[in-house]
Amino acid sequence: MLLVLANICFVPLLGDTNAQILMRFKASLSNNNALNNWVNESSLCSWRGLLCNHTDQTFYGLRLENMSLGGNIDVDTLFELPTLTSFSVMNNTFEGPIPEFKKLVKLRALFLSNNKFSGDIPDDAFEGMTKLKRVFLAENGFTGHIPKSLANLPRLWDLDLRGNSFGGNIPEFRQKVFRNFNLSNNQLEGPIPKGLSNKDPSSFAGNKGLCGKPMSPCNEIGRNESRSEVPNPNSPQRKGNKHRILITVIIVVAVVVVASIVALLFIRNQRRKRLEPLILSKKENSKNSGGFKESQSSIDLTSDFKKGADGELNFVREEKGGFDLQDLLRASAVVLGSGSFGSTYKAMILNGPTVVVKRFRHMNNNVGKQEFIEHMKRLGSLTHPNLLPLAAFYYRKEDKFLIYDYAENGSLASHLHGRNNSMLTWSTRLKIIKGVARGLAYLYESLPSQNLPHGHLKSSNVILDHSFEPHLTEYGLVPVMSKSHAQQFMAAYKAPEVIQFGRPNVKSDVWCLGIMILELLTGKFPANYLRHGKGRNNNADLATWVDSVVREEWTGEVFDKDIMGTRNGEGEMLKLLRIGMFCCKWSVESRWDWREALGKIEELKEKDSDEEYYSSYVSEGDLYSRTMTKDEFSISVTN
């Protein structure tokens, strides 16, 4: 009888639909006005923030970001959703300890970044979540140790814990290969585990107590002092011999030192004469040197660096020292290219790093030296896996030199358009655009006072390393550039609002991102599709060409032939194409901002076909198929 009653009591619960469960979850949230379209009468996949599989309309995730939501996250209610595998409440106002997400054992992605969560996370907080792959807890107030259950997740490959107050040692992570890994700006200490020694140093920046590769070496504690004793001769004869030998050695050493100094000064003087001017030799092929044809002409850098009392080499990052101005002048150098701003060359410093030197002839002379130095130091403090770090600069009033780290695989432009261009696969192109979007998003966050945090985003300013990870360069220079030169040559000043109204907007860099997306997908060089004018009819850019192709219903002709044969990738390519078009909207109001663009790009699949990587377009009524008509692709760039 009791069993029967128990079954009767559970009938309503088992009969609840996903819609009813979600309505109960909504009721537990405060400030939930953003979810006003959650009504039982409408289709579940049209509800804001719901992720659905675009093929069969199966609900699989919640993406409730940037909605000012608060209150309690009712995990028990979420547990009743059998298909929930992805959960995101990033950029909201949730606070207090982390909820008991370990009850949601089917979760594959958990995003809690940019809230007000706080307190220690229990060691068993992620126990049993064997399917969890992506964990983002950045920019909260978490304290205590990194939970062992998190480190033991067998499938974890995206982890972002930056900007908290985690302390203690970094645990040994079971997973050794990560797509993204970031523990920066915490209070961690002690040696970095060997399994993480191959990570980028920026992953650990801001933890003063950390040591070991890839950071500074750990100080050895308790190092044994040498116990070897110097014999103490007892006989006067041995003592006298010792004194005579010591005096002889001192005289010989002094003579050798003086002779060496004289010889060194003579050789150095002769070498200086030979270094004027410095001849940049052609030593590498165009692919490894950035995809530009190397110049055989000489550049008088030696005299340029010496002219004027203002000239000095200023390092903006302490860890990138190890060479000085003279080392740079003596370096074997190769011309990488010459553009509208000046020359670029690669310098291979003897017994030192290889760096890229960019010469700028059109910096704003109205910017004072101290103001320029402060701006360079700010740029030098930026650390992100997708930025090419600024190492140093050389200041002169007439022109300036910026010294960057070197990445060996050349520019994206060289791979897309160079004579020896390599075939970039779909997965590589997607990896590149995701890295570009992440780097640009970091610049927006780090340089909030600048309308154009990059200002010159284009494929030749995206440098690839050995694994084709992209690194943005020439970023953040608008405040120190000549206004007239910026308007004439910088990429962001080609955006429609600049051509039409004469001034850039906070979304102008997003327009550049959109053009780069289209360039990656089409293999077309943007400059070939650009005509300058004051009206829409006189401004035909790459986005306009793509739009015209789509409207003629031959969308397949848009894509680069090198990626057209990608198996099971056509749908994702179409999604990225649509993202690019939304970033290239003529109307600034209709154009996506950087957050929305990044969010959509992050949803795209690379190799993993798991549900959490499907796009959330379906929640906005945008259905994709492998063939699309112009009605389905109605995103005219002129709207």
Q: Residues annotated in the binding site for ATP, as ranges?
A: 358
Query: 3 to each of 6, 7, 8, 9, 10, how far by Cα in Å?
Result: 5, 6, 9, 10, 11
- Residues 23, 7 contacting (CB under 8 angstroms): no
> Coil, strand, or helix at residue 403?
strand
Around 405, how many Cα atoms within 13 Å sit in the side-chain half-sphere?
Answer: 20
- What is d(CA 459, CA 525) in angstroms, rounded to the nearest whole number? 9
Tell me which DSSP letter residue 367 carries.
Answer: S
C-alpha dihedral, 43 to 47 to 51 to 52, nearest 10°: 10
What DSSP character marks residue 235?
S
Which tokens hold the place of 97? 């300890």
Q: Please spell the DSSP secondary structure of 168-191, one letter per residue.
A: EPPPPPS----SEEE--SSEEEEE
Q: Are the C-beta atoms of residues 366 and 350 closer than 8 Å to each other? A: no
**Whether residue 214 has a cis bond before it, omega within 30° of 0:** yes
For strands 165-168 and 141-144, give the pairing: parallel
Instruction: Tell me the two tokens of residue 405.
Output: 């780290």
Q: Copy the structure tokens of residue 233.
A: 């001769």
593 near 507, Cβ under 8 Å?
A: yes
Tell me, what amino acid is at 28? S
Tokens of 152: 């033991």
Q: Are 497 and 503 in contact (CB under 8 A)?
A: yes
Contact indicator for 166, 187 with CB cutoff of 8 Å: yes
Amino acid at 250: I
Distance separating alpha carbons of residues 542 and 513, to the nearest angstrom? 12
Phi, psi of 259 (to 5 degrees): -65, -40
Pairwise CA distance, residues 360 & 372, whole Å: 13
